[in-house]
Amino acid sequence: MATVSAGRNAARKARYLMECQRTYFREPLTLVSGRGAYVTDDAGRQYLDFFAGIAVLLVGHSHPKVNAAVHDQIDKLTHTSTLYLTEPMLDLAERIVEAAPAGLDKVFFGNSGTEANEVAAALARHFTGAKDFIALDHAYHGRSMWTIGVSGLAAYRNFGAEPQHVAFAPNAYCYRCPLQLTYPSCGIACAKAIEDVIATQTSGGVAAFYAETIQGVGGIITPPPEYYTVVKEILDRHGILFIADEVQTAWGRLGRSMFGISDWGVTPDIVTSAKGLGNGFPISIVIARREVADAYKGPHINTFGGNPVSARAALATLEIVEEDGLAANAQRMGARLMDGLRELALRRPLIGDVRGRGLMIGVELVRDRATKEPAGAATEAVVDACRDAGLLVGRGGVHGSVIRIQPPLIITSAQVDDALAMFDTALAAAELVYPCA
């Protein structure tokens, strides 16, 4: 499906963009417009976007209300720096505190998930006076030197950033249990293992435990319902803060609460988020308990944090999520997708596991269901074949063998059914090249 501009853009990418800036597909896709759940490429071809700019566009591309808020703001004031206040920034802080679990009541604004996680670490160290952190295997928290250190995916620790004062605990990867146990008879042993990690891998002075509520890049690893209660009890006993990285899981994506972690019945000490909040405009937040927030006096300057344009985009996005009942839609559409994927699994042997919550769904592909041999190459072929069929999906997992489905929360039943049909076509195409055992 190459076009003249596709060839030209691939050449310009190779010439002008750094190698480290990866794009999907051997022939990169250049997008020129988007509306709702669809995007259009430079050849005029439309795709159903079920990855939403890496789990970002909660209310879809180019939403008229977000655009109107942004247009209004850019005609008034586009930037002030964090040295001055703006109404949109304060309105947003107020709105976020209202939406957050009780007890989380002070906000810091940044520009990316990475930056939010940096600030969260600073808060935890200042509040506790301790140095160490515990993170999870297969975690992804960003691309700065510090956040690489708390990332538990070898592929993303690729320039020698040595983790400093970071210990890793087994993740709740039930499909491939790191402890070779089976849920629920395991008794959530992976959560209990944190106790051993504290005793054997840290100095005893642990500032915080870091976890993505559901691991995204790591392959939509979805902890069982009891997991965080067990974790929190251990952390509380040791005076360790819980930092929930909700960069992907907040704002209704998981189908119920504004902060996904609420579904597990615990309240973290610090939450970070970004991605969907600005519906594509760069903005991130850290929200923390007042005494934790107050322990960090800074100064922590950032030039663009909470800028008024992104803040207006975020305010409009949150309003739409609420007024249009998008969390409930995420739950309904997520259930429909899950049912459809489980039905596909009956006749597509590539599918080893289907998991997730709301509209954060992972489909793990295997070469052989009995051995669970990861199907990394087939997964790449499926992502390519989805594109050919007119569907954009993501890829993740420690073996690169998980299809990530994280569409806008506005999707309809008809779009879910179209996506399932295209996914089926893509699986069939990949199974011809990569037959299962």
Contact 272, 107 (CB under 8 A): no
* β-strands 31-35, 38-41 pairing: antiparallel
| Segment interacting with ligand PMP, rule: CB under 6 A, options 17-25, 125-133, 138-146, 427-435 | 138-146
Q: Name the minimum Å distance from CB 371 to ligand PMP.
A: 29
Q: Assess 356 for contact with ligand PMP (CB under 6 A).
A: no
Exposure letters 260-276 (e unless 16+ CB within 10 A, then b): bbbbbebbbbbbbbbbb
| Segment interacting with ligand PMP, rule: CB under 6 A, options 244-252, 262-270, 312-320, 375-383 | 244-252
Near ligand PMP in 94-123, by CB under 6 A: 112-114, 117
Contact 377, 400 (CB under 8 A): no
Q: Name the minimum Å distance from CB 415 to ligand PMP.
A: 24
Near ligand PMP in 160-219, by CB under 6 A: 212, 216-217
Q: How far is CA 389 from CA 34, 73, 100, 165, in A?
A: 18, 39, 40, 46
Binding mask 370-409 for ligand PMP (x = CB under 6 A): ----------------------------------------
Q: For residues 214 and 420, which CB has a smaller minimum distance to ligand PMP in the complex?
A: 214
Contact 349, 431 (CB under 8 A): yes
Near ligand PMP in 19-58, by CB under 6 A: 54
Near ligand PMP in 305-344, by CB under 6 A: none
Q: For residues 217 and 427, which CB has a smaller minimum distance to ligand PMP in the complex?
A: 217
Q: For residues 119 and 344, which CB has a smaller minimum distance to ligand PMP in the complex?
A: 119
Taking CB under 6 A as the criterion, the residue among 63, 125, 141, 355 binding ligand PMP is 141
Contact 422, 389 (CB under 8 A): yes
Residue with tokens 């999907």: 24
Question: From CA 350, how far away is CA 366, in angstroms rounded?
Answer: 5
Q: Name the minimum Å distance from CB 311 to ligand PMP.
A: 17
93, 98, 99, 104: CA torsion to nearest 10: 80
Q: 10 Å Cβ neighbour count for 181? A: 14
Q: Which segments within 183-289 are labelled E, that is strand?
A: 206-212, 241-245, 270-273, 284-289
Q: Name the minimum Å distance from CB 189 to ligand PMP.
A: 24
- Residues lying near ligand PMP in the complex (CB under 6 A): 54, 112-114, 117, 140-142, 212, 216-217, 245, 247-248, 274
